[in-house]
Structure 1
């Protein structure tokens, strides 16, 4: 029950953050006579403020923890070497070409068989 209460208390902050972003996008188009640079700055600034507001919620803290842990996991990944990547890519291209040719031959064979069956030349 305490968790539901905390989520409910965070809802106004979430709605405020979303409203700020929507408002900045509306303002971006409404004030079209102002230079693009300043309008983009306004949207970026609003996104930064909204991100800070969302971070204050339980959801924001969970999302931040998720991002940090994802970065840690990415460092643990063993990435393939350039040679392995090239060999795999060439293998895939070769197999795709072979399958394409086989499907083309099958299409030609079935087309010939149906044409012969119906007497179409």
Structure 2
């Protein structure tokens, strides 16, 4: 029931918005380091404001809108998942542990049997 993929063409405005978001991101990091003589809260505020502006600019571009749409569809799909009850989860965990123990015993027994056949019976090394 997935919708057909629609290919969008990036316009010049979208490319400009993405470039501006990149410039804002680099500017925010640069401002953080260039303001090293200021108080820490001023540096952090400059960084946070710059990052928020970069994220805001990104989400106005077509790629940002697609990301928001993808996130909404993903959340809708997560809501459709039928999660097991606590009892079912504990039972399945017990089955897995039991299988691991049985498989470990089987592999140990196979290893010891092959060791006995090769070293004791065939090669007489012991």
Does the 8 Å CA contact 2:32/2:47 hold for their aligned counterparts?
Answer: yes
Q: Flag structure 2 segments of 5+ consecutive residues without an equivalent.
A: 1-7
Q: Which structure: greater helix fraction? A: 1
Q: Which has the larger radius of gyration?
A: 2
Distance 1:44 1:93 in 2: 47
Aligned CA distance change for structure 1 residues 14 and 5 (closer, same or farther; 3 Å)? closer
TM-score normalised by the chain length of structure 1: 0.71
Structure with the bigger RCO (C-alpha within 8 Å, sep 6+) is 1
Q: Flag structure 1 segments of 5+ consecutive residues without an equivalent.
A: none
Match of 1:70 in 2: 74
Aligned CA distance change for structure 1 residues 64 and 5 (closer, same or farther; 3 Å)? closer
Asked whether 1:52 is paired with 2:26, we answer no
Two-structure CA RMSD over aligned residues (Å): 3.0
Q: How many residues align?
A: 117
Match of 2:123 in 1: 118
3-state SS of 2:9 partner: helix
Does the 8 Å CA contact 2:58/2:64 hold for their aligned counterparts?
Answer: yes
TM-score normalised by the chain length of structure 2: 0.68
Deviation at 1:64, TM superposition (A): 0.1
Match of 1:80 in 2: 84
Distance 2:32 2:123 in 1: 65
